[in-house]
Amino acid sequence: MKDLTTGSEARLILNFTIPMLIGNVFQQMYNIVDSIVIGKYLGNEALAAVGASFPLIFTLISLIIGLATGGTIIISQHYGAKNMEKVRRTIDTMYIFLFFASILLSVIGIWSSAYIFRLIDLPAEVIPQAVKYFNLYSLGFVFFFGFQGTTAILRGMGDSKTPLYFLVISTLVNIFLDLLFVIVFGWGIEGVAIATIISQAGAFVTIIFYLNKYNSFLKFKPLQMRFDWEIFRKSIQIGLPTGLQQTFVAVGMLALYKVVNMFGTTVIAAYAVAMRIDSFASLPAMNFSAALSSFVGQNIGAGKLERVQKGLNATLWMTAIISLGVTVVAWLFSGPIMQLFTNDPGVVEAGKDYLFIVSAFYIVFSTMFVYNGVLRGAGDTLIPMFVTLFSLWIVRIPISWFLAQHMGPKGIWWGIPIAWAIGAFFSFLYFRMGKWKSKNVMGTRTK
């Protein structure tokens, strides 16, 4: 476990981010390898099916992950205050909640998937494969949430390294199983989903085994867990705005797919691939933001508010430099990157257009996430939810639809950075107002 309340702010945040970033890079490799195998061996329809499944998966899990974020913030602030009893009770409450939530989401997802794919006007030839992939994938939610919950607990206590080792192994297993199930066994799109489930289950089981053996405080003992309603209420209070924020984003992605679907399977496949690359490119900003949240949470818990501003400034500089580097790579190598996934020239060209437009604004995206990271770490999550709601539903989707009528698919791509710019501006504005400084989960005002 790592105390983030003493030492160089930039060094602490960077050292905390790197293992988390590497781990998430490997985790994204699940999706990257899935898309490469599908695009090369199963074709555009299968590629479009998996791409369309992603926003539905994100929609189902985003609310729960957001609620779990409330638990992470509580853990980080109580850990910063050295209140280990509250830390333990929060951990138990998180695990119990995530278990039952994962079962419920699996049932809801399997029951509703076909209807939702028809609702967003996914082409009829793509729907059967999308339903097959999604329904199998959703059976692994219990393992996904189990591992993500364990990772969030460790991160709240300042440990971003332990999950990395298990993610690396899990990703390598997933790559091997993808190739085995699709190329050797010929299981098609179902093989890709099964490979992911096995990999996620392996990651969760092995990290729990490791913690039970080497960390007495974090031993996983389901029969001894106690659900604390007061902590759960506080987690909901803090995490619900973040959960709703992520849900709005996820539902917005589904709504945006309805616009993309107007242009047929080729553009859908291109969007699916470009989104995978885009998700990969946005990892530095997202992980620095998560690290900053833990840093802010611990320092607010310890009453060291002056370190928060220093940590923010350092994070803004680091993410700006990285974002500019990623933009240059995306501009120079968009074609070869797209060709890793597909040989279809129409898909490649549409994907290149997306990457050229969107990647120019990664620095705006990173700025938005960094400011939101401070607000989340302080437990002030309500206003970022409204900012996201406004920038997505009032800006991004209407503008994307409008521009698509006049510019084709490029108009959809332009709607994305416009929404980022609006979100970044309002997040910065709210941060400058300073109301977040008076909030922490222990009920005291931080000076």
pLDDT, one tens digit per residue, over 349-403 is 999 999 999 999 999 999 998 998 888 888 777 777 788 778 878 888 899 999 9
CA 315 to chain centre: 19
- As a whole-number percent, the residues of the chain with pLDDT over 70 amount to 96
What CA–CA distance (Å, rounded) separates 371 from 357?
23
* Range 97-101 average pLDDT: 91
What CA–CA distance (Å, rounded) separates 420 from 390?
11
Is residue 73 very low, low, confident or very high in pLDDT (cuts 50, 70, 90)?
confident
Least confident of 157-161, 165-169, 373-377, 384-388: 157-161
* DSSP letter (8 states) at residue 180: I
What is the per-residue pLDDT for 389?
78
> Which pTM was predicted?
0.71
What is the per-residue pLDDT for 325?
94
Higher-confidence position of 386 and 130? 130
For residue 328, CA distances in Å to 325, 331, 366 come to: 5, 5, 15
- Asked whether residue 235 carries a pLDDT value surpassing 80, the answer given is yes
What is the per-residue pLDDT for 447?
44
Domain presence at residue 445: no
- As a whole-number percent, the residues of the chain with pLDDT over 90 amount to 33
What is the per-residue pLDDT for 364?
94
Is residue 324 very low, low, confident or very high in pLDDT (cuts 50, 70, 90)?
very high
Domain presence at residue 1: no
Handedness of CA 352, 357, 362, 363 (dihedral sign): positive
What is the per-residue pLDDT for 439?
60
DSSP sequence for 309-354: HHHHHHHHHHHHHHHHHHHHHHHHHHHHHHHTT---HHHHHHHHHH
- Asked whether residue 212 carries a pLDDT value surpassing 60, the answer given is yes
Domain presence at residue 443: no
- Asked whether residue 81 carries a pLDDT value surpassing 70, the answer given is yes
What is the per-residue pLDDT for 317?
95
* 344 φ/ψ sector (left φ>0, alpha ψ -120 to 50, else beta): beta
For residue 229, CA distances in Å to 59, 97, 168, 236 come to: 26, 11, 35, 10
Structural domain span for residue 237: 9-438
Domain presence at residue 397: yes
Domain presence at residue 324: yes
Domain presence at residue 378: yes
- Asked whether residue 111 carries a pLDDT value surpassing 90, the answer given is yes
- CA-closest candidate to residue 287, choices 373, 368, 203: 373
Mean pLDDT of the chain: 85
What is the per-residue pLDDT for 219?
81
- Asked whether residue 199 carries a pLDDT value surpassing 80, the answer given is yes
Higher-confidence position of 332 and 22? 332
Total domains in the chain come to 1
What is the per-residue pLDDT for 215?
78
Is residue 75 very low, low, confident or very high in pLDDT (cuts 50, 70, 90)?
confident
Domain presence at residue 447: no
What is the per-residue pLDDT for 396?
86
Domain presence at residue 4: no
